[in-house]
Structure 1
Amino acid sequence: MTQDVLTVAGLLDDDGWSRSSGAEGWTVKDVISHAGQLISLVVAAVKGAVEYPDPPIGIERLNGVMVDATRGRNPAEIVDFLRAQSENAFPVFKSLQEEPLASSTAELLDLGTYELRAIPNMFTFDFATHLHFDLLAPRGPLSLAWPPMSERVAPAVHRRMAGILKMQPNPYRSLQHPSAST
């Protein structure tokens, strides 16, 4: 999915980068910047090289802080950063699939506690969501011919299913009164 985001980025002109995305308050550039920032954060966390704010601020607010810090970068810098972070992430993500790390757990801010093997699936989910719902039409601003997600999103579905009860501890209430769960 990272390669898909990089491919979309390579197709953008100045107008495309500055368009409002399907992610409220974010431009296309912000969404692509978020991808690189998120990879960077998780790789640093796995390596024990990140300090979280005290008190904790939650993942959505943290995402906003990280994107805000990159707003002065130009599109080429955003793409270069995403590409470099992706290359850094592959060996780290591979190590999370092997024991003893794979079955080790970590609390992921306000998202719940997960086995580390789930982290690459989380990226598949996040990037697939941003690509297909925040960047590409009909919800996003970019009218590009793009193949369907198909089997590439199987890890995203696995992640979502594993995380429902962690992110939504009372799903019955949410299904009965969706607006009350937010």
Structure 2
Amino acid sequence: MSTAGVAASRALVDNALKIIEGFGPDDWAADSACHGWRVHDLVTHMGFFFNFIADPNLVLPDNPSGQSERLNDAAVRERADWTADQVVDYYRTQSEAGLATLEALQGPDFAAATVDMLDLGTYRLAALADAVAFDHLVHLVCDLLAPRGPIADGAVDVAAAIDPAVDWMIAGLPQMCRAALHPVLTGPIGLRLTGATERTFVLDRGADDTVVVTETRDLPTDVATTDAVDFLSWATTRTAWRSAVTVTGDRAAVSAVLDAVDVV
């Protein structure tokens, strides 16, 4: 279950609507910190994610790459000429429908069901709430709002969303980054998050070329310590980890692992 993910997503939608409803033409046209996307594109993407979740009959853009990022780019291009009013209406309508769907997916009828998400891996349907919390939190905090983004004013409920967002990232790491991580995981590496949440994990090799991430207080010698909000940024390769991480133990071993992290 991820009822916390639903609550986080709902809080972030409230935050997003309060922010975007005050935009002027220059705000919509500004470049976000998400490479290649304007603020306009960023908001349509957030609406599209809800649309994807809520409408099983949604016709997706052509995506021969099979990559989720290219699907998102194609969906943004389809909506690139919408007016600001269309974007706000789309986001409001799809977020309402999407939140209702996320709530339903927490029920017992869906507890054991899974969904394949292209190159991202396979997840429980209930975990889509964590995915939305992650997606919204990253886009709002890292791409839209200052100091990284172009919008100076806006409040985001980081405390409500950080744990579901981290849950998605930890679930995704072994699937999204396995090919890059497995060769460089020569021993267990600890990950300590601080600040908005206090959590610790160990990354290690599993059987059959897999990667295993375990939440535990028992950390190995080699550890990367980082602020949890900074983790959102560097683990998605928006910023460099070297300016945000303190390494203890074997720096070369930890560096090789952190260089291989790229969560979507």
Q: TM-score, normalised by structure 2?
A: 0.62
* Shift in CA distance, 12/103, structure 1 to aligned 2, threshold 3 Å: same
Q: Percent of pairs identical after alignment?
A: 30
User: Aligned pairs, how many?
Assistant: 180
Q: CA RMSD in A?
A: 2.2
User: C-alpha offsets along residues 149-177 of structure 1, whole Å, 9 cap, x if unaligned?
Assistant: 12332211111111111111143539517
Structure 1 residues 85 and 167, CA, compared in 2 at 3 Å: closer, same or farther? same
Amino acid at match of 2:142: F
Larger radius of gyration: 2
1:171 is the counterpart of 2:181 = yes
- Deviations along 1:109-148, one digit per CA (max 9) or x if unpaired, are 1110001110011000000000001000111011115256
What does 1:35-54 align with in structure 2 at a 5 Å threshold? 35-44=46-55, 47=56, 49-50=58-59, 53=62
CA contact (8 A) 1:41 1:50 kept: no
| Greater Cα shift, 105-114 or 142-151 | 142-151
* Structure 1 residues 95 and 56: CA distance shift in structure 2, 3 A: farther
In structure 1, list runs of 5 or more residues that go unmatched.
none
Instruction: Please say if residues 33 and 67 of structure 1, whose CA atoms lie closer than 8 Å, have aligned partners that are also in contact.
Output: yes
Give the structure with the larger helix fraction. Answer: 1
**SS state at 1:120 partner:** helix
Displacement over 2 Å in runs of 4+? 47-57, 145-148, 170-175, 177-182
1:5 corresponds to which letter in structure 2? A
Q: 2:29 aligns with which of 2, 11, 18?
A: 18
User: Which residue identity is paired with 2:143?
Assistant: D
- Indicate if the aligned counterparts of 2:134 and 2:166 stay in contact, CA closer than 8 A: yes
Alignment of 1:146 with 2:226, yes or no, is no
Letter paired with 1:164:
L
- Indicate the residue corresponding to 2:78 in structure 1: 69
